[in-house]
Amino acid sequence: MDHRRVKDRLYAVWADTAKALASPKRVELLDLLAQGERTVEALAREAGLTVNNTSSHLSVLKGVRLVESRKEAQFAFYRVADDAVSAFLLHLQALTRRRMHEVDHLVRTYFEERDALEPVDRAELRRRLRRGDVTVIDVRPAVEYDAVHIAGALSMPLERLHARMGDLPKDRPIVAYCRGPYCVMAVEAVERLRKRGYDARRFAEGLPDWRLAGYPVAEGPEATNAVPPRRSRTASHRRAS
């Protein structure tokens, strides 16, 4: 095979992959699957699609090997093919913000201008979790939390936050996170918490970014989904010495 045919074939495969993403709903489905494995029915509900349309979109994504599936009883479960797919999606989001004024404008007006404080970055959140001086809440749907979440985080889906807010301590900061840097749930959760007098900030990224960085995650519900006790300075000093 000569070099021209090799190049043509490679460009054709890359174009096929790009073409598979030429649908907003397919990009949304990938974004949902980056949170963890889901059934077709669950994806359809979250994306506002019929089950048949969801299956068709997933078939296209599977055709270019961006997603994989398995059967369990009468249900089909889908997941991203590997971490490279999640990383690609994050890079795509970052690239469009850098190159497309419309995206940057939306992010600035909807996210950044609503933040009274700077969001917490990945390194800071890791340090504070290690010290035990922060409460981290996962405001994604419970099914996503159960699939995978930041180790030690509490499941507090946005729609249940008001009812559960009284369980959160006011004597330490709260960091809320959701699907990624462009997920509105964490923004809304922080606004609600601040109105009730909580020291709340949002995580600047999301679960996929945290997991891809190799930071601790957990699957399934935590053994107890209660607020952990605050470490005393003395106890922290003894562990460090």
DSSP 28-71: HHHHHHTT--EEHHHHHHHHT--HHHHHHHHHHHHHTTSEEEEE
Q: Between 241 and 33, whose confidence is greater? A: 33
Q: Taking the complete model, does pTM exceed 0.85, yes or no?
A: no
Residue pair 164/156 in contact (Cβ under 8 Å)? The answer is yes
pLDDT tens-digit map of 115-168? 766 899 999 999 999 999 999 999 999 999 999 999 999 999 999 999 999 999
* Distance separating alpha carbons of residues 2 and 228, to the nearest angstrom: 63
**All structural domains of the chain:** 3-81 (1.10.10.10), 117-240 (3.40.250.10)
Which pLDDT score is estimated for 3? 87
Q: Which residues are catalytic?
A: 178
Which one, of 112, 85, 125, 128, lies nearest residue 181 by Cα? 112
Cβ atoms within 10 Å of 4's Cβ, excluding its own: 8
Give the contacts of 205 (CB within 8 A, at least 6 positions apart).
121, 122, 177, 180, 181
List pLDDT tens digits, range 55-113: 999 999 999 999 999 999 999 999 999 999 999 999 999 999 889 888 888 878 777 77
**Is the confidence at residue 178, as pLDDT, over 70?**
yes
pLDDT at res. 187: 92
pLDDT mean over 193-214:
94
pLDDT at 202 exceeding the cut of 80: yes
- Summarised one tens digit per residue, pLDDT across range 216-225 is 999 987 644 5
* 80, 30 contact by CB (below 8 A): yes
Instruction: Pick the more confident residue, 225 or 15.
Output: 15
Asked whether the beta carbons of 165 and 196 are under 8 A apart, the reply is: yes
More confident residue, 198 or 224: 198
The upper half-sphere exposure of residue 222, i.e. CA atoms within 13 Å in the direction of its Cβ, equals 17
